[in-house]
Amino acid sequence: MNHGGSRPGSGRNAIQGKEIRIKVPDQVFEQLDLFFPGKTAQERIRECLEYGIKHKGREKLNTNDMQLNVVDLFSGAGGLSRGFMDASFNVVLGIDFDDAALKTFKENHGDADIMKLDLFNHDNLHHITDYLEERDIKVDVLIGGPPCQGYSLAGPRNEHDERNTLYEAMVKFANMTKPKVVVLENVPGLLKLFDGKGAQRIVDDFTDLGYNMQKKILYAPDFGVPQIRKRVFFVGVLPEYGNFEYPTPFVEPESYITCEQAIGDLPSLEEDLGTEIAEYPNVAGTMYEELMRANSDKLYNHVGTQHEQKTIDLIAMVPEGKNFRALPAPYNTMFKYNEALTRYHSQRPSLTINTGHRSHFHYKWNRIPTVRESARLQSFPDDFIFYGNKSQQYRQVGNAVPPLLGKAVGLQVKELLSKVEETMNV
């Protein structure tokens, strides 16, 4: 297999007994080397063909006439909804109690509506069912990420934290609307803390409604997200719709998207703090950056923070990929938080994006990441614009499910329901 400009490739690849001559431009060949390091040219092309064939089949499923409606409880800004929308679902409604997050959801999910509701009060669920009945909308898939801070590994943990019971709103709503599939996501700590009682309650409550409920931890880098992040998913399916299969990882560890590959094209903000809306100063340098830019001709939410000089000097002392422990005394004993003063590594995925924004630093520049950089590391595309003040925007990004991870789950749900639809139409 040859590559280079417009020269025809002279390499051959055997596919089902046939020899195929492939022309690979230099730029594409370099991108193949980026995603499949250490593999031969034939191996790279073979993997791309297998991936393409698999996803072409999914595209065919996504172009059928079946309209699958999604309601998102505890939607936040809508990372999970964006993933399902990108998997060709019709996102109908997002429900949350955060005004800024709801504004962001509304502006980024097409014709979807929003509702501000306190779901501690289950009587409020009737506002949702009334809305759906008035418009003759059937809920096919219920998704949501109810807060369970009592089970989070970040901060104090309390088995009896009332927020741990917010998932019950999803249980009650599922009982009221009988969606074909329920998708609930949360922190992985739910599976271990307090002997796994919280996770088992979720499984038991949906099982009592007739759902076949499966749970699994998914690792975001396995699905193209440039961030070390684990989330536990609970997927429940009514028996007549078959058995759900979780998505198979499609990115090998040696090919995980790195910080530099994800945000290396964004302005440094060394000279100024930037603006809420800006022009791209350069072209995308990686496939991931091209993916993020695909539907946006402007750069949004890329505004720096005005640090004091002493803060900049402290950040400058932290080596790439290290944290406060690499600093001289007394700084190396000043913090109890393990990730305090951590600088990202350019050649690795980022650490988990959280709702704060002052623990992590850019791998190269002496500042915290911008909202857009954090959003990129969460796999939010550049056309997804965040609203509210900067702290609210950071919180929305940190609370979200990475859209690419949500899309991977959504495609599996779509494939399952499409197979059932095809069987019914035979």
> Helix, strand, or coil here: 358?
coil
Residue spans of beta strands (DSSP E) within 211-344 = 212-219, 230-237, 277-278, 299-300, 342-343
CB 259 within 8 A of CB 350: yes
| Neighbouring residues of 242: CB distance < 8 A, sequence distance ≥ 6 | 416, 419, 420
CB 216 within 8 A of CB 176: no
Over its C-alpha atoms, the chain yields an Rg (Å, rounded) of 23
Cα 29-35-39 angle, rounded to 5 deg: 75
CA dist 173 → 41, 92, 168 (Å): 51, 15, 8
The C-alpha atoms of residue 61 and residue 419 are separated, in whole angstroms, by 9
Backbone angles phi, psi at 261, to 5 degrees: -65, -25
CB 263 within 8 A of CB 220: no
Catalytic hit among 85, 125, 148, 266: 148
- Given the DSSP bridges, would you call strands 230-237 and 181-186 parallel, antiparallel or unpaired? antiparallel
Residue 318: CB atoms within 10 Å: 19
* Exposure string over 103-126, b if 16+ CB within 10 A, otherwise e: bbbeebbeebebbebebeeeebbe
Based on the residue annotation, tell me whether 48 is a catalytic residue of this protein: no
DSSP element (H, E) containing 33 = helix 26-35
- Provide the residue type at 116 as one letter: K
DSSP secondary structure letters along 136-164: TPPP-EEEE----GGG-SSS---TT-GGG
User: Is the bond preceding 402 in cis, omega lying within 30 degrees of 0?
Assistant: no
Active-site amino acid positions: 148
